[in-house]
Each structure stands twice: as structure tokens, then as C-alpha cells.
Structure 1
Amino acid sequence: MQPIKFRTIEEAKTLEVPKTSRKVIEKAQSAVDFVLNGNASRLIKVKAIFEAADDIIAEISPLSVCKKGCNYCCHIDVLITEIEAKYIEKNTGKVVRLNGVNNKVHGKPRTPCTLLGADGACSIYSYRPLVCRAFLTFDSPTYCQESSIEHVTYDSRGHPNLKNLGEVLIHLNNASGFKDIREYFPLDV
């Protein structure tokens, strides 16, 4: 494994995201078609969306400075759909419990994600929501811990196929909107 090269914000702004391979684009389109037309449970369709997203991100992630245990992004709003919460519940045994509290504090650091492990790594990594799968930083994780610094991040809005997968996920969720992951999985009180 090559060491991670941290960059300045200016250096990161000059990076060119690689073109997505034809094979990965076709897989993403197949996932969209399957979600819209396939005869399977909604949770199986979520899995197809996540697998296609992972393939796209795998081609972009060599530019990323993200690594296991770096969890600054887990201290910001993590907006997910109800179907993603159910997918997490089914695959991890963590029980969805809507607490009725809106924890949103845009742009300010706050409570870490309730699904972070004691080691600082995601305890549900294989089943994490789309927003977590598709969020990368290209400069330095030191910028992530400072909410006042605008730096070079990448998310599903930056890639047409990831954006399309996100839209299909919303459709699959019956357009019910988003809640912060902490609302679905609050800390035990």
C-alpha cells in the first residue's frame, strides 16, 4: 500500500477525477434498471445501489486521503433515507429507534455518529449509507476537523452516475425524505 499523500487545498483543486470505466457505468445503469423494474425486495435493491456506488468510488478513491480511523466526516450531518436505516438494521442487528429529536446543526461539529466504534472506525462499514460511501476528501484530513475551512471534498453530487443512484434510492424510499443517522440510531440513554 502506498503512503497517503496529503495535499494543500490549492493542489487538491487541480486534481482531475478519472473518467469512470464503461464497465462500471454499465453496472450502475443495470442497478438503476433493476431498482426501477426488478422483482426483488427493496432491501435487495438497496444492496444493488450500494454495490454499484462502491464500484464507482473504487475508481475515484485513489485520489482520496481518507483512511480507516479518520472519522472527522462522522461528526457532521449524515442524512440518510428510511430504507437505508432499515437496510442497516437488517444487516447489523442495530435497531432503528426514531427518537423524535432533530439533531441537525449544519456546519458545526457535534456529536459523532452513533455507529462509530470505540476504535474510531465505522461499526457498520459494509452496510454504511450512500452518503458515507460517496464522501471523500482530496486534500488533508486536518482540514476536515475544522468546520470553518472549505476544502476539497467529493460526494455523490459530483458524479452523474452516483447522483442517479442517489435519486433512485430516494425513489425506492417513496420520496420520504431524509433524517440524520443519529435520529434512526440514537445513543442509549
Structure 2
Amino acid sequence: MSIEEEVNIATAQDNARRSAASMLASLPARLQKDEDRIAAQLQRHKGNAFAKITVLHDLLNAFGAAMAPFTACKAGCDACCHYNVSLFPIEARYIEHFAGHKQRGDPLPAQDFHGQPCPFLKEGRCGIYNARPISCRLHVAFTKTAYWCSPARSSEGQFQQIDLTGIREALVDVASASGGVAHTDIRQVFGVPARWTAT
């Protein structure tokens, strides 16, 4: 489908609903069960918080593979890397530990960062891909094209997403047991790229 065919927002929204429904219909039953059970599984898990986050990442990788044929998302598309990116303190520490990026000593004030690039976006690609927050992993575009993903247009309408409640519940449990559930934007804790900093 060409971008021109999705310029009409109603068409794009309908495409997203259909693609999401097709994806859910094709989702392996095992994967659905794993997602339903993940919160309880992690409550019994003997590993530390980082190990539990890694288990969630592995499950989301499996979901990502199942969703890929039904989304407009592809390597090099970085529109959503210019959205607000929320994360929990444990996820910031995970990035610090596994990707080697230090948090700011003084977090930036809360604000709307929509339109500003993620500090880890490098030449259109994620510089912390394997350690990226769960909010990044949960966000996909079920539209046929990335036309409505542009930060300039993305707030003009609502588009179908899937709600992986088991994963969200498990993440809140891990965060709650590991330093709190206060959301921050990734830019608050890791900084804003220099060209976006006020002079």
C-alpha cells in the first residue's frame, strides 16, 4: 500500500484495526498463555530485578516477531523515537548497567518531549536496542505505512494497539519492588541531544 492511500486517517485507522485483529488471530496459543502467566511467573522467579526485566524482554521479543508481519515498523524508521518515552527507575538502571550509559546526576524537569529525539537515537537507529525500555517494545504501528507515525501527525488520531496486560502488570511488580513506579521520560534521566538544548 502506498502512503497516499493512508493519508485519509479513517482508512489508516481501519487498516490498523484489521491488522491488529489478524495478528491476534494468528498469535500462537503458547505465547498468549506465557503473557497471561508472566506476572505470576516473575513473582516466583529467584533472580534479581535485572534478570526479571530480561525475562520480560525475551517474551516481548517473541511478541515482536509475531507482530512484525502485521506492522509498518522496520529498521531505520525512527518516528516513534521522537515521542515521549516513559520508563521506570529500574529500567533506567538496566540501561545504565547493560548499555553502559550513565544517568544524569540531576534529572531534567518533567515536560513534553514529543518531537525531540531520544538521546540514544544514532543515525536513525536505536543505540541501546537490546536494553531499550518496555514502552518502546510495546509500541507498534499496525497501519500499512508509517505516514501517521510522524511526530507532526501522530497526535491527530488514535490508532489500534494491543494491551499486553500481563507484561505491564509484571513490569509494575518488578519496578515496585526495585525502587518505585514513578514514570520519567528517558530524556529526563539520560539527557537531551545537544542540538535540542536551549542556548
TM-score tier after normalising by the smaller chain length: 0.7 to 0.9
Find the partner of 2:57 among 50, 67, 71. Answer: 50
CA distance in 2, matches of 1:41, 1:23: 25
Q: Which has the higher contact order (CA 8 A, sep 6+)?
A: 2
CA distance in 2, matches of 1:5, 1:126: 31
CA distance in 2, matches of 1:188, 1:75: 12
Contiguous gaps of at least 5 residues in structure 1: none
Opposite residue 114 of structure 1, the aligned amino acid is P
Deviation at 1:79, TM superposition (A): 0.5
Contact 2:119-2:191 at 8 Å conserved across structures: yes
Deviation at 1:11, TM superposition (A): 2.9
Contact 2:92-2:189 at 8 Å conserved across structures: yes
Deviation at 1:33, TM superposition (A): 3.1
Opposite residue 167 of structure 1, the aligned amino acid is E
Report which stretch shifted further, 145-154 or 46-55.
145-154
Report which stretch shifted further, 55-64 or 44-53.
55-64
TM-score, normalising length from structure 2?
0.78
| 1:3-152 equivalent positions in 2, closer than 5 A | 8=6, 9=12, 10-15=14-19, 16=21, 17-19=23-25, 20-29=27-36, 31-97=38-104, 99-105=106-112, 109-117=114-122, 119-139=123-143, 140-145=145-150, 146-150=153-157, 152=159
Q: CA RMSD in A?
A: 2.3
Aligned to 1:181: 186
Q: Which has the larger radius of gyration?
A: 2
Counterparts in 2 of 1:103 and 1:33: CA distance versus 1, 3 Å: same
Counterparts in 2 of 1:114 and 1:13: CA distance versus 1, 3 Å: same
Opposite residue 169 of structure 1, the aligned amino acid is L
Opposite residue 112 of structure 1, the aligned amino acid is P
Deviation at 1:180, TM superposition (A): 0.3
Q: Percent identity?
A: 24
Contiguous gaps of at least 5 residues in structure 2: 7-11, 195-199
TM-score, normalising length from structure 1?
0.82
Deviation at 1:77, TM superposition (A): 0.7
Q: Identify, as 1 or 2, the structure richer in helix.
A: 2
Contact 1:88-1:128 at 8 Å conserved across structures: yes
Contact 2:37-2:166 at 8 Å conserved across structures: no
Contact 2:39-2:169 at 8 Å conserved across structures: no
Deviations 1:122-156 (A, max 9, x none): 001111111111111122212111234325352xx
**Number of paired residues?**
178
Opposite residue 128 of structure 2, the aligned amino acid is I
